[in-house]
Amino acid sequence: MSKRRQTLGLQILATVAILGLIAYLFFPKADMQLADNWYGDLKSTFEAQARQGEAALAAYKNAVISSSTTTTSSPHHPIPNPNRVKAAFVILARNSDLNGIRSSIRQMEDRFNRKFNYPYVFLNEENFTEEFKEKTAALTNSEVHYGKIDADMWGYPDHVDTKKAADCRKKMQDKGIIYGGSESYRHMCRFQSGFFFRHPLLDAFEYYWRVEPDVSYFCDIDYDVFQMMKDKKLKYGKSFIQKKS
């Protein structure tokens, strides 16, 4: 959110500067005191509105975090490296995915993360069960965060014709298109296309590694993938190993 606050601040400063220039050019000198007062009042109003907006946003995010997120640490959690890249594993999962997620975490820890101890962020459209949280947190010494996805980020926008969407899914299913008939798959794609990085639990991170259930890693990864991406200014990486259509 810091980038958005910076953008808002720059917009406010630019607006105030332009209005100040107009006042300087068009007000007679005899009325400059009046213009100065007007300019000062306007600036104070803009700044007050900006502070109110930031306060409201902070209150909303605190409410989301306090009501729907949990952070768990192992008693043997290592001291964080202050120079480590701000990165995390992001896992979108349901409670029913527990066994598949546990398999993925075991492999991730064995092949990579036991050397680097990056945190995990779990997201779900429903609340995670205590069993899910306990059994996943037990597999790593890293911090583990659990969050619920807000309804506005998971579902249909107001302008979507849900009947037309259902008809389109049926046609794709009849054609044998993979995930063609799945409604939840489309909600997932919409969330992963942009909403995920707006979740409060991801505010602290600059890079993420998406992990899914039942993922296999066949080789040890001895270098810091996140550090490599940062050093080389890379934005995105993907492995192409599954035929989708």
Mean pLDDT, the chain, rounded, equals: 75
121-142: per-residue pLDDT in tens?
A: 998 888 899 999 999 999 999 9
**Rg, the chain, Cα only:** 24
CA dihedral angle for residue 65, residue 53, residue 158, residue 190, rounded to 10 degrees: -50
Q: What pLDDT does 196 receive?
A: 66
Catalogue the E-assigned strands of the chain: 69-72, 87-92, 120-124, 144-148, 207-210
pLDDT confidence bin for 75, thresholds 50/70/90: very low
The pLDDT tens digits of the residues spanning 183-218 come to 677 766 666 677 666 677 788 889 989 898 998 888
pLDDT at 57 over 90: no
Give the whole-angstrom CA distance, residue 87 versus residue 193. 18
| Predicted local distance difference test score (pLDDT) of residue 93 | 87
> What is residue 86's predicted lDDT score, i.e. its pLDDT?
92
Strands lying side by side in the sheet with 144-148 = 69-72, 144-148, 120-124, 87-92, 207-210
Question: Once rounded to an integer, what is the mean pLDDT over residues 96-107?
Answer: 95
Question: Under DSSP, is residue 82 helix (H, G, I), strand (E, B) or coil?
Answer: coil
Region of residue 179 (left: phi > 0; alpha: psi -120 to 50; beta: else): left
| pTM: predicted TM-score of the whole model, two decimal places | 0.61
Predicted confidence (pLDDT) at residue 30 exceeds the cutoff of 50: no
